[in-house]
Amino acid sequence: MVKNGESPPAATQREDELLVQDVLRGESGSFDTIVRRYQSIVYAVSYRLVRNREDALDIAQEAFIKAFRSLHTWQPTGAFKSWLLRIATNMSIDHLRRRSRMPAFVERDAVGQLEPDAVDERVRIKEPSERASESELGSAIQTAVDKLPEKQRTVFILRHYEGLSLKEIAEIMNCTEGTIKTHLFRATGKLRDELGAVRRDFMRG
């Protein structure tokens, strides 16, 4: 059901440390290796948060560039992946805040850009009889996730969609695991309430 989130093994952490040291020594090729290692997750997290391909691509790039510029400030006490994802998450949230101040912008993104693609994708896969209900379900879930407060939504996306462990999420969000559990508990509760009717229909069907 859900990807099993595990902390990065010590070996990965050690490799990251060595790569960062290489980059700081001036071997910029090692930064390519870092980019390849984490580009998928950085993009995926940004995409899940901003739900727009172009913006996610821009944010993912910016996140790596910012990481490159402030690589000397990274402390190996925490995982490199978490540090990188913190940058990407913060940038995505900043982007969303900026976007929320531009009503026209949000409207076009939400209606014109993301939804038709996402719906089309499912329509191609599913049987015709399922079409309407499945796409309704998809947009109901998206609306419910969108309604979550910023932190709950971020935590939920990181845990549920990207399968990061609670410990990793705590590092990314710069808080305790207890706080993350609370956010997640509230988020799942709100989603359950929001999707109550739809859930009952589907459980019956």
Partner 1 sequence: MLRCYRARKLIVPYLYGELDERARTQLEAHLDRCARCAAEVATRSETLQLIDRARQEVDYPERFEHRFPAMVRARIEMDDREPAVARPLWAPSPVRQVAVMFCTLLLGVLIGSSTMVFGGLRSAHYSRLVNDARQLEAVRKAIESERVLDQLVALKVQLAEEGKVHSFAKVAALENVLVDVMPLSDAEQRARYLARNADSEVVAGNFAEASRMYETLLQSCPESPLASDARQMVAFIAKEKLADYPEAARQYEVELARAEQRETTERMERAAFDLAETCLAMGEYDKAVDAYWSLLERFPTGSRTPAAMLKLSDLYFDRFRDFGTARELYYQLASGYGGAIDEMGARPRVETRLAMLEQSARYGFKPVEIFVEAAGITDQRAFGLYEKIIHMYPNTVVAKLALDELCVLASGPDLAPLASIDALSDEQRIDALRTVIARCRRKDVAAFAHMAIGDIFRDQIKDFRLARREYQYVLDRYPEYLEASEAQSRINKLVLAASEEDRRRS
Residues that bind partner 1 (CB under 8 A): 1-2, 4-5, 28, 31-32, 35-36, 39-40, 43-44, 47-48, 53-55, 57-58, 60-61, 64-65, 68, 102, 104-105, 108, 117-118, 121-122, 134, 137-138, 141-142, 145, 159-161, 165-166, 181, 184-185, 188-189, 191-192, 195, 198-199, 202-203
For partner 1, give the closer residue by CB, 10 or 104: 104
Q: Locate tokens 């050690």: which residue?
A: 14
Q: How far is the CB of 136 from partner 1 (least distance, A)?
A: 9
3-state helix, strand, coil in the chain (%, to 5): 80, 0, 20
For partner 1, give the closer residue by CB, 13 or 39: 39
DSSP state of 122: H
Q: Are 205 and 147 in contact (CB under 8 A)?
A: no
Tell me the HSE value of 164 on the side-chain side, using a 13 A CA sphere.
28
Report the Cα 46 to chain-centroid distance in Å. 5
For partner 1, give the closer residue by CB, 21 or 28: 28
Q: How far is the CB of 201 from partner 1 (least distance, A)?
A: 10
Q: How far is the CB of 155 from partner 1 (least distance, A)?
A: 10
Q: Are 110 and 193 in contact (CB under 8 A)?
A: no
For the record, the structure tokens of 79 come out as 């995982």
Q: How far is the CB of 166 from partner 1 (least distance, A)?
A: 6
